[in-house]
Structure 1
Amino acid sequence: MSVSNKVALVTGVTGFLGRYVARYFSEQGWSVIGIGTSPPENAPLANLTKYYCLKLPNSNLHEILQERSPLICIHCAGRASVGLSVSEPASDFYTNSIVTFEVLNALRIYSPKCKFIFLSSAAIYGNPESLPVRETQTVAPISPYGFHKLMCEQLCLEFTKIYGLSTASLRIFSAYGPGLRRQVLWDICQKAITQSSLLLQGTGEESRDFIHALDIAKALSVVVESAPMEGEIYNLGTGREVTISELATMVLESLEQNCQLQFDGVVPIGNPLNWQADISKLKSIGFTPTVELERGVKTFVNWCRAELVGV
């Protein structure tokens, strides 16, 4: 297949993960077209053959699908904030559940052969009944964000079962990497760099399974090439559980700072306590994470320091 025929559509291409996905698939020989809400000067144009600045849902998507005939659609668009989903559930529902339905429906009508990969979240598990979490565990979201991601997974299954679309969902655990200006790792870094003390939410014993954005992009490629795409779900993490206290210590060691580490003991509503992924299902089709957390944290810290203090 020639490069020109390998067209990948990435929604949310100006977001954190969308940028990594566009770059990775471009490097793999795909012709990547992107949809995002940022002006062109803020889009990853070097990795795109075409960029469309529009807010989904949008009737222009119909023309894009007919004109470009993508083989795959990687759906990175949507809100990614548990906190905002709690305070603004309507916006979260619209930008996640409604937009996902509209994209799937457009594919059904205008590009039915296109494979659709949905970026879901471990938030659908809530507080898991046991660790590591397998895909077969009971889902029990504790935030609107988690509920809406679960709705989107069901929509993918619906469009596979009823209309024959090829779909798969990846439940991403805790994504990180240079470019991410939110969530716990950014919070730790920016406080450690700009303040003399480090006060964080929670107890420090909360845990996460951190997966680098580069590995997320690689996993998506594995799914495109090897997954049955029958509406199935995959956990996407590394399988390593790390407490927030351990993570903060890693950051401080990378910064070579003796910043005092404190926790306020308050776990925000909607935030689960402990996460660790069982990724054997994704491994069975060929995925292996490659970015070790210590190395990834050092890279993130260096980027963060350059962002905040310019060195």
Structure 2
Amino acid sequence: MLNDIHSPAPARSVLITGGLGFLGRAVAQCFRAGGYRVLGIGHSAEDVADGAASGYDRWISTSLTTESLTLLGERPDVVVHCASNGSVPYSLVHPLDAYERTVNSTAVLLEHLRRHAPSAVVLYPSSAAVYGAAPDRPLCETDTPNPVSPYGFHKQMVETLLAAHATCFGQPAVAVRFFSIYGPGLRRQLLWDASERLLSGPSPQTFFGTGDETRDWIHVDDAAALILHLAERAAAAPRGAAARLEIVNGATGDRVTVRDVLGRLARALGSPAEIRFNGSIRAGDPRFYLAAIDQMRATGWQPSIALDEGLATYAAWVRKARDTAP
């Protein structure tokens, strides 16, 4: 179903696939504030009013297909491709469907752009899952990928597709290997599950792992701002016959244990629950994640939201979301 939300059209436009997901909504708000005409497409039950509230000038509620992209009928200046499977556990249980959502949807999008918008800059939110099982040190963009889940392999496959279209067809593309994105709107993964348990469950609460696993957290507003920054940087770069895929880590470069982040979250939520760990490691969960962010900083950008500040806003959102839940 095609839904139009009419507004004055700025000179530049961005198409966001998976546009009503956690990251997609933040990206839409960020690009809208940056003066872009914001187009969105996604398989969602949300209606046109929700698309408008999320920052979209035009929203198409459908799956990402050749037909829906043709129906869009516009040539965006930037494409932020958020449509994909977003779950490691889902990829382990349903690897074929996860492949279709992540890899096949990208192939469809790139073929459409090759034919109709070959100069559009493509931004892809990739993942640290591409690094997979890695040593306890800062991970660099030049490190050899070592995925340990279908999710990670699929992200690597998408990067390969982007590299192929950049090299063979000149489609400018940037893959941002995000580490752990969090913030208001996140209704899955560790922090959401932990919030539910810390606010409603008995004490103590026992979590998977040892608690000494490390993660590198970046707030969703910073993640969206980085995407905008890299899009405008790529758009301003000279165009030549030999294009290449640019890969940039998206993180803060701060090493935080799972034990530490859950303790900080509990304090932000005002929960007195004791936190314990069962020592079991779940499939697809690497022990250590820490980003080297020299390349990100070299682009002239760095994150601005500290972890405690971000957890405070997330905790406030969680409480509000629980109070307004049906």
The answer for unaligned runs of 5 or more in structure 2 is: 1-7, 238-242
> Of 278, 281, 299, which aligns to 2:292?
278
Map Cα deviations across residues 49-92 of structure 1 (whole Å, 9 max, x no partner).
1000110124120242xx32210000011111000001110011
Aligned length: 308
1:16 & 1:87 partners in 2: Cα distance? 22
Instruction: Provide the C-alpha distance between the structure 2 equivalents of 1:257 and 1:123, rounded to a whole number of angstroms.
Output: 31
**Does structure 1 retain, via aligned residues, the 8 Å contact 2:26–2:221?**
yes
Structure 2 contact 250–296 (Cα < 8 Å) conserved: yes
- Corresponding residue for 2:282? 268
Structure-2 separation of matches of 1:128 and 1:17: 25
Residue 288 of structure 1 deviates from its aligned partner by: 0.7
- Aligned-partner SS, 1:78: coil
Gaps of 5+ in 1: none
8 A contact 1:10–1:73 mirrored in 2: yes
Task: Give, in angstroms, the shift of residue 309 of structure 1.
Answer: 3.7
Q: Which residue of 2 aligns with 1:60?
A: 68
Conserved? CA contact 1:171–1:233, under 8 Å: yes
Residue 155 (1) aligns with residue 169 (2):
no
Matched ranges for 1:181-192 at <5 A? 181-192=187-198
Deviations 1:127-162 (A, max 9, x none): 223511110111100000000000000000000100
For residue 6 of structure 1, report the CA deviation from its aligned partner: 0.6
Q: How does 1:6-17 map to 2 (within 5 A)?
A: 6-17=12-23
User: 1:241: which partner in 2?
Assistant: 255
Which residue, 267, 278, 281 being the options, matches 1:253?
267
Between the aligned partners of 2:268 and 2:231, the Cα distance in structure 1 is 36
Q: How far apart in 1 are the matches of 2:89 and 2:12?
A: 38
TM-score, with length taken from structure 1: 0.95
Q: 1:41, CA displacement in angstroms?
A: 4.9
Secondary structure of the structure 2 residue equivalent to 1:35:
strand
Q: Alignment partner for residue 232 of structure 2, among 225, 232, 236? A: 225
Q: Following superposition of structure 1 onto structure 2, how do residues 11-26 of structure 1 map, counting pairs within 5 Å? A: 11-26=17-32
Deviations 1:254-310 (A, max 9, x none): 223321111121111011111011111111111110110001011111111222245
Q: Identity of paired residues, percent? A: 33
CA deviations over 1:147-184 (Å, ceiling 9, x no partner): 00000000000001001111110101001011101111
Which stretch has the larger CA shift, 258-267 or 231-240? Answer: 258-267
Q: Does 1:43 align with 2:50?
A: yes
2:100 and 2:50 map into 1 onto residues whose CA distance is 23
RMSD between superposed Cα atoms in Å: 1.6
- Secondary structure of the equivalent of 1:59? helix
AA of the residue aligned to 2:166: T
1:59 & 1:255 partners in 2: Cα distance?
45
Q: 2:214 is matched with which residue: 207, 216, 219? A: 207
CA distance in 1, matches of 2:172, 2:26: 23
* Separation (CA, whole Å) in 2 of partners of 1:43 and 1:105: 29
> Following the alignment from structure 1 to structure 2, what is the Cα–Cα distance between the partners of residues 298 and 151?
36
Residue 31 of structure 1, aligned match among 20, 32, 37:
37
94-103 vs 250-259, which moves further: 250-259
Residues in 2 aligned to 1:306 and 1:49: alpha-carbon distance in whole angstroms: 27
Task: Give, as a single letter, the amino acid of the residue that structure 2 aligns with 1:75.
Answer: H
Distance in 2 of aligned mates of 1:299 and 1:15: 19
State the partner residue of 1:134. 140
